[in-house]
Amino acid sequence: MTAKTVLVSGASIAGPSAAFWLHRHGYRVTVVETAPELRPGGQAVDFRGEQVKLLAAMGILGDVRRYETAMGDQTVLDLDGKPQLTVPGAAWSGEVEILRGDLARILYDHTKDHTEYVFGDRVTSLTERADGVDVTFSRGAPRRFDLVVGADGVHSGVRAAAFGPEAGFRRDLGFGIAGFTAPNHLGLDHTSVLYNEPGRGLMVGSHRHADRLHVGLVFAADGVEFRRRTTDEQRALVAQLFANTGWETPKLLEALPAATDLYVDSISQIHLERWSKGRVVLLGDAAWCAGPGGSGTGLAMMGAQVLAGELAAAGGDHVTAFERYEQRLRKPATVGQKNGKGSGNFLAPRTAAKIRSRNRAYKMLSTRLFGGFFTWMTDRAANALEYREYPVLTSA
């Protein structure tokens, strides 16, 4: 096969994963990323079962284990901020867990020598021709590529350019999520704490860096506008939403002005009838965002392997390859979306009664019967897609 050119939008997880496998199958890949550099930090992501096989096949499992969080148990607090119960760390951390930023760096390091990375730029328009796609950028000169992959997240610019406005595909689940890093004044060591008040949840933990706390916030988002906010506006929004929250919240919010890794967004899902249009195809959150608990990171990486493999198997026939890719990924993505649909209600129950009910469910995790059921629930999204090898042209 003559090497074809592929533009991948997004340099977080799905994009570099696509670059990794497309290179293996003989494609020349350019990755464009809006951010000026790799984004550090972010939430922890875990891998289980079939997805661990993928990490091994990519030759990065050892790297991931070197940077794993190695999280221990989680302490669940009651409404008064007192310890109520303990949840085993394995319930949330899978076989291996790593911060999104650390994983992005690993993928970048494994692809940078054979992939053109362009930071600080983004796709502004796509025009399909008989033999390629003409792409314009916000900063760089126009270019033509044989194929375009939108791996640029729930707010995908490629999806907007090829399929239309985001509002037609995004389903908000009524909650928002935020996260930032703060000093570890709690003295946590590879452990985490969950605290709730009605409609608000704080997940606070420390792992690889003993002096840091990773603060995750989930909140009922009725009437909250998320888009087009500056960082200062996002800080103000978080401070406002959690201003009257108890426990250690006031102390944690003191770190907001200095936090350089703050992110704030709605908990949303993406639903599309098709993931491809002509020579443009979507991958990961851009195509099927599930939300927390939907095994989205692992499935995006699995999807990258399938997408590249099907392109190779079809001899570069993108119409056939995209159809087969979607056939393999549709059901697993639906499983992930089903798992993620109730994440907001679980992490930030809206009433005190629902918090107590959720905590009773937590208690059952320590029993053999219900603990096994919970493991099955968390594993089913990760194992919904079986890892299969595709013949490759090049070594890693």
Q: Which residue has the tokens 């796609």?
A: 133
Q: Does residue 279 or residue 43 have the better pLDDT?
A: 279
Q: What is the pLDDT of residue 374?
A: 58
The answer, yes or no, to whether residue 377 has pLDDT greater than 90, is no
Mean pLDDT value across residues 359-375: 68
Q: What is the pLDDT of residue 1?
A: 46
Give counts: helices (H), strands (E), the chain: 14, 18
The answer, yes or no, to whether residue 248 has pLDDT greater than 80, is yes
The answer, yes or no, to whether residue 376 has pLDDT greater than 90, is no
Q: What is the pLDDT of residue 226?
A: 83
Whole-number Å distance between alpha carbons of 74 and 13: 26
Q: Does residue 260 or residue 303 have the better pLDDT?
A: 303
Mean pLDDT value across residues 275-301: 94
Tell me the percentage of the chain whose pLDDT exceeds 70: 93
Q: What is the pLDDT of residues 80-120, one digit of tens each?
A: 899 998 887 766 677 899 999 999 999 999 999 999 999 99
Residue 234: which of 256, 212, 249 has the closest Cα?
256
Mean pLDDT value across residues 357-386: 71
Q: What is the pLDDT of residue 194?
A: 96
- What are the structure tokens assigned to 306, written together? 């399938």
This prediction has a pTM of: 0.94
pLDDT tier for residue 55 given thresholds of 50, 70 and 90? very high
Q: What is the pLDDT of residue 18?
A: 98
The answer, yes or no, to whether residue 223 has pLDDT greater than 70, is yes
How many other C-beta atoms can be found within 10 angstroms of the C-beta atom of residue 81?
14
Q: What is the pLDDT of residues 200-222, one digit of tens each?
A: 999 999 998 899 999 999 999 98
Mean pLDDT value across residues 237-260: 96
Specify whether the CB–CB gap between 230 and 186 falls below 8 A: no
Q: What is the pLDDT of residue 326?
A: 98
Whole-number Å distance between alpha carbons of 287 and 268: 12
Mean pLDDT value across residues 149-158: 97
DSSP annotation of 88: -
Q: What is the pLDDT of residues 316-337, one digit of tens each?
A: 999 999 999 999 999 999 999 9
Beta bridge partners, 276, equal 281
Specify whether the CB–CB gap between 16 and 9 falls below 8 A: no
Q: Is 159 left (phi over 0), alpha (psi -120 to 50) or beta?
A: alpha
The answer, yes or no, to whether residue 395 has pLDDT greater than 70, is no
Mean pLDDT, the chain, integer: 92
Q: Does residue 141 or residue 365 have the better pLDDT?
A: 141
Q: Worst-scoring range by mean pLDDT, 21-30, 50-59, 153-162, 358-367?
A: 358-367
Q: Does residue 231 or residue 394 have the better pLDDT?
A: 231
Q: Going by DSSP bridges, is the β-strand pair 83-87/74-77 parallel, antiparallel, or unpaired?
A: antiparallel
The answer, yes or no, to whether residue 366 has pLDDT greater than 80, is no
Q: What is the pLDDT of residue 386?
A: 92
The answer, yes or no, to whether residue 236 has pLDDT greater than 90, is yes
Q: Going by DSSP bridges, is the β-strand pair 132-137/123-129 parallel, antiparallel, or unpaired?
A: antiparallel
Q: What is the pLDDT of residues 118-153, one digit of tens each?
A: 999 999 999 999 999 999 999 999 999 999 999 999
Q: What is the pLDDT of residue 227?
A: 77
Q: Does residue 393 or residue 45 have the better pLDDT?
A: 45
